[in-house]
Amino acid sequence: MSQYRAPLRDMKFQMEEVLDFTSHYASFPQGREATPDIVEAILQSAAQFAEDVLAPIDGMGDEIGCKWEDGEVTTPPGFKEAYNEYIANGWTSLSMPVELGGQGLPASLGGFCMEIHATANHAWTMYPGLSMGGIQTIAAHASEELKARFLPRLIEGQWSATMCLTEAHCGSDLGLLRSKALPQDDGSYKISGSKIFISSGEHDLTKNIVHIVLARLPDAPPGIKGISLFIVPKFNVTDSGEVAERNNVHCGSIEHKMGIHGNATCVINFDEAKGYLISPPHKGMSCMFTFINESRMGVAQQALAQIEASHQSALEYARDRVQFRGTVRKDPEAAADPIIVHPDVRRMLFTQKAFGEGGRALSYFLAIQTDRERYSESESEREMAEALLSLMTPIAKGFLSEVCMEATSYGIQVFGGHGYIREWRQEQHFRDARITSIYEGTTGIQGLDLLGRKILSSRGKALEPFVKLVLGFCKQHPENPYAGTLQTQMQKWVELTTELGMKAMKNPDEVNAAAYDYLMFSGYTVLAWTWAQSALVASAALEKKPSEAEADFYQAKLDTARFYFERILPRTLALEVSIRAGVETLPEFSAPL
């Protein structure tokens, strides 16, 4: 069975050679402490913790899972000890502002560490991962008094946070939610209702759990415009930030899921629980998007993590497992060859590599935009970063979560029958990956957000910054072998968008009918840009005659870029056809059940 190793070499390729994070960090005050030697030390420490602590308990977490009894949840063996080590080493405060008790390092650096940890143990990493979104939401929207009361313990990791959105009758239609919030004389609220699918909603890792809850005030208008946002702690908190008596918040059950068994997915019941309003009245959804967008990027990272974990295991197995004889024999005297000599096996491995490394490139590009949005002293730079994040977040979440299912399925296929049984843990990667295209908004919802809410509602202006960026790359590097293809691909994207806008003016259902295919077309196109960049850098590096190991690394980049452009990007040709087919190909079902 393979042992997870953090992909530090590929991470450094993107950070140092493609995107120049050294210059990026030097460009804003919060990044200047992130010198190359500091970054190197932090990533090495993150890798050691992931490899030595988190990876060994991942399989146990899957097999044993969380246990619920009398409203209390016990996490799998080793989870609590790992969490205690995590907070003792300061991982929760790494990217938090100094004035709030954090270490003040860039958000992107914390994200790179989270990627390493999630690849080692997706389920465990969700506990501290969700707290990051809760911290950002409280910091962005709560009063100074509530920030002082809740943020220090959250940043220390002594407490954790959740997002409580949906209810049993709602699904993703949050306008239907019924949870109520009644104002009290002391300025607090009594929150009542039942929330479902609450990841990390109850556990034994922290002394308190701070729920970020959507509910309705008594005078709330119906629908999405009548929702407000509240902090509701598991244990009440004194004015000085100390844990007090138990609040009326209880875990009614945990879900028995397909995957991520080590993370408790809970039903949380609020029975006149004490809470605090953190959004303007009836403006809770806009505030909650701070948490939602943070989580969407986290899910994209989880998808990337599952691809990486599955690929590492499948690649090692393909090099060791012998079956059949290759056309060109590796060892003519052997009865069979390692299966990696067979082209179809390499097709699956290259597909994993193309999605994993291309997805990492996209993730790191967006990490730069997150830093710029939060820290840049230039208003125009902040606005550009915000525009790119707004456009690319649904693509990163939706596209990577879809292709991670394909990639982890290939991981099983490389193993053959051994991939289908638990011993090798390939099937766990597929099961754990499956949720990524569902939570934080299904792929269809991401497509609607991208096409309808972002691009068409702006009359295409939301797409312009990225189109200019990519076309500028093509113009600047005409020698790049993929510049012409990439330029044509961007033109097709713009043409399809224009066509859909015209059709949607006649029938709004055209947006819903095309949303999924449009998002996938967009994702394949965006990854083409990342691979064109990587090929450019790898080609230049090879000209400098590096060592044999480094030459192999760069040649693999060129091989994967070619594979992507010649065998993956052509999928967009079929997507063009299906996008143009329109809503008339989706009639109502007339056949009886």
What is the spatial distance between Cα 377 and Cα 120, in angstroms, rounded to a whole number?
36
Let me know: does 515 contact 452? Beta carbons within 8 Å: yes
pLDDT at 588 over 80: yes
Q: Where are the domains of the chain?
A: 443-584
The rounded Cα 399 to chain-centroid distance in angstroms is 11
Query: In 3-state terms, what secondary structure has residue 190?
Result: strand
pLDDT at 355 over 70: yes
* pLDDT-based confidence at residue 211 (cuts at 50, 70, 90): very high
Is 440 a catalytic site residue? yes
* pLDDT-based confidence at residue 310 (cuts at 50, 70, 90): very high
pLDDT at 285 over 80: yes
The rounded Cα 356 to chain-centroid distance in angstroms is 13
Let me know: does 135 contact 102? Beta carbons within 8 Å: no
Query: In 3-state terms, what secondary structure has residue 266?
Result: strand
Among residues 427, 440, 495, 550, which one is catalytic? 440
Residue 303's φ and ψ, nearest 5 degrees, are -65, -45
Residue 1 pLDDT: 60
* pLDDT-based confidence at residue 589 (cuts at 50, 70, 90): confident
Let me know: does 153 contact 161? Beta carbons within 8 Å: no
Q: What percentage of the chain carries pLDDT values higher than 90?
A: 91
pLDDT at 326 over 90: no
- pTM more than 0.85: yes
Q: What percentage of the chain carries pLDDT values higher than 70?
A: 99
What is the spatial distance between Cα 29 and Cα 372, in angstroms, rounded to a whole number?
11
Identify the burial level of 587 via C-beta atoms within 10 angstroms of its C-beta, where 0-12 means exposed, 13-18 middle and 19 or more buried. Answer: exposed
Query: What count of other Cβ atoms lies within 10 Å of the Cβ of residue 506?
Result: 8
pLDDT at 329 over 80: no
Over residues 426-452, the mean pLDDT reads: 96
Over residues 247-270, the mean pLDDT reads: 97
What is the spatial distance between Cα 77 and Cα 552, in angstroms, rounded to a whole number?
40
pLDDT at 341 over 80: yes
Distances (CA, A) of 544 to 14, 20, 502: 18, 19, 50
Give the helix ranges, DSSP H, for 99-175.
107-120, 122-141, 144-156
Please give the mean pLDDT across all residues of the chain.
95
pLDDT at 593 over 70: no
pLDDT tens string 72-88: 999 999 999 999 999 99
pLDDT tens string 49-67: 999 999 999 999 999 999 9
